[in-house]
A and B are shown apart, each in its own frame.
Chain A
Amino acid sequence: MRESTFWPRLLAHPWILGIAGILIVLLLWTGVTATGLVDRLFLPSPAAVLAAGQAQASAGILGRDLVASVTRVFTGFALSAAVALPLGIAMGTNRAICQLLEPLMGLIRYMPAPAFIPLLIIYFGLEELPKVMLIFIGTVFFNTLMIMDAVKFVPHELVETALTLGGKRAQLLTRVITPCIAPQVLDTYRINMASAWNLVIVAELVAANEGLGKRISLAQRFLRTDEIFVGLIVIGVIGLLIDLGFRLLMRRACSWAN
């Protein structure tokens, strides 16, 4: 009888198994490194990674890298989000604009963003601008096309009801279409934010003075695998926090859609 209530109760708290999964990997990792079977150079112990992280944090390196990478991601992505929203809505509501831009965007979207790095460096040098532009280019087409799709799925009854209630064209955009697509827009941003993180690391591997990606490539040069692990884990945690942030915002702002 006991077993029959155990699983449902456990599954009712999704984070329990989630944390268990992480702990299992941590335990395996500790176990494998403790046996000494694997060369430390390839796989440092969790304690060594923690120590490396602490050393970087207390030297102020970690904080500076974090600020540098996060600033790039947020600037580039904010720009992308701000362009994609009106453009996606315009393409979703206007057939001419859609026919003009959709094939073009569909084409550019499949060009791998990192392949633009050489061009961006030639155009914008080695400072912040090329990195921000890479994140912008790498996410703006996905953001736009996904928002356009969300607009196309707005039930036409909702738009037409507003018209029969005396709504003006401009009101359709602000009072019907925008609130209706808000949940999908937030979800689009949440999903494409992951690409922004990929791209900032790629950009920093190529050219940067600081940033989490830069730290990883420096660590590689000096065979500091512990520092590579620090970088990877920090990037993962920040990504997860941003993801959770978007989910929380969605639950707060768009509770009607759950």
Chain B
Amino acid sequence: MKALAIAWRDVRRQFRSGLLLLMMLGVPLLLTALLYFAFGSSRGGPSLQPTALAVLDLDRPPALAPVAVGRVLDAALASPELSALLRPQPATDLASAREAVRSGRLGALLVVPADATRSLLAGGSVELELVTDPARPLAAGVVRDVVQAVADGLSAGGVAASVTARLAADHGLPDATALALRAAGTLAAQGHDPAAATLTVVPPVAGGASLAQRMAAQVMAAMMIFFVFFTGAFGASAVLREQEEGTLKRLATTPTTAATQLGGRFLGIALTLLAQIAALLLASALAFGIAWGRPLSVALAAVALAVVAAGFGVLLLAFVRTSRQSGPVFGVVLTVTGMVGGLMSATMPDLPPAFRAASLFTPQGWAMEVWRGCMAGEGPAALAPTLAVTLLLGAGLLAVGVPLMRRRFAQGV
């Protein structure tokens, strides 16, 4: 297959350039590592304020219960180790607490259901509802991690327990997404024995690291998007370099159709971008312990990112005359659009909503939306709207850029 040979040529050339390789993989990982270790060592970091967490304890334990879920949670969340991260306070009614989260007066709300203790003792599962503000992904992540750790401790009453977090549907809140934390565990026989039931709360030993991880994840996603867009642009502009080398013209003297050349070229760009994304995801998962999300969501997000980055690259190619110009032009355009797209401020809490709205005028902003959802654990269904917009945007960019490219490099491409 000639198209494959062309794609392979492009992948090989891209990965053979030390400078490009550094930009594709080295720099994004390095920037993330700098931040990770800066925050990892300062245990919580100076920039993050403790999140105000309201606890609405509706739990009504049976009279002789050895343990009360609500009270254990309260005590655990109020422990001094967590004071840098959480400022727990009791809430009195659901409606006003939700409103407080929505309006930003509270960082998060944890609801302990009425039958919590009863159903835990009966060996059933307890659903703790966590309401967070999606505009503050870092705070939401910290609260989720801490509550999860506490719930882990609760359900670790000597039994194997599994805790899975999932995003639940919006519980009537217009803006905020409700995060439901399901602590599923079965108490074995000895769990009823107060002495054996070690319902200690595992303090988030990795509390600082968890914050660092949370920040690293945001930064890594942003850096990945930033540099993947560069790869897309340089991948598209490879044709310019070939024109200058004379290899594009030589290719036009061989019996290779324009369609084959175009197909091979885009296959090469797609493979390069996907390889870069995969390498960054894997390396950052290993180095910083970033959880990227569900495998299928991650795969879809990677494809969407590759498509939109390639599309933007092909469009940018139209504004570059020579390969010498490509560096500065791509640098300026991708840095500006990346900043507007929110890639430089991924870790800043409480950005004004206008900023978020502005980011959606850039392809990078949409890509970041997709990855944010992915990291929040969204499944393909929940991710579908942002994914669809991003893919359509990419397709639209290609629809504009490819004909321009074909016209300009008429002797080949």
Our verdict on whether A and B bind, yes or no, reads: no
Interface residues, chain B, with chain A CB atoms under 8 Å away? none
